[in-house]
Amino acid sequence: LDSQNEPDIIAINAASTALALSDIPWNGPVGAVRISLTDNNELITNPTRKEIAEAVLNLIITANDVGNVIMLEAFANEPVVESHIIKAIAKGIKECKIIVNSIKQLQANHGKTKRKLDYD
C-alpha cells in the first residue's frame, strides 16, 4: 500500500488468489482491474490516484477466465460516448483474463486440493 495507488484492486486479486490456493471450494478465481479513460480518450489500466482524479471515466471490473463479468462499477464526471465505455469494458475483461490465468497457474503449482462438500 502506498500513497499513489488505490488498494481495492489489489485486495480483490489477493482474496481471489488466497481462495484459489486454499482447500475451500468456490467458483473462482476472478481477476480485477481498474480502467480509466482520459480526456484524450486513452485507456489506462490500474491508474494512479492522480490519474483517477483527472479521468473522465473510472471503471472497476471483475471477471473470470472466460470473460464473464462478475462485478462492474463505473464513475464518470461527464457524459461518456458509448463506444468508449465498450472499449473500456473489453480492455478490462482482457486484463482480468490475464490475472485469472496467472492465478490458475499459481494454483496448479502450489494450490491445495479442494475439499468435497458433504450435503447430508
pTM: 0.92
How confident is the model at residue 2, as a pLDDT?
86
Buried b (16+ CB within 10 A) or exposed e, 73-112: eeeeeeebeeeebeebbebbbebbbebbeebeeebeeebe
How confident is the model at residue 9, as a pLDDT?
96
| Tens digits of residue pLDDT in 8-47 | 999 999 999 999 999 999 899 999 999 999 999 999 999 9
- List strand residue ranges (DSSP E) for the chain, in order: 31-37, 43-45, 57-63, 69-76
| Residue 112: pLDDT over 80 | yes
| Tens digits of residue pLDDT in 31-89 | 999 999 999 999 999 999 999 999 999 999 999 999 999 999 999 988 999 999 999 99
User: What's the CA gap between 18 and 103, in Å, rounded?
Assistant: 9
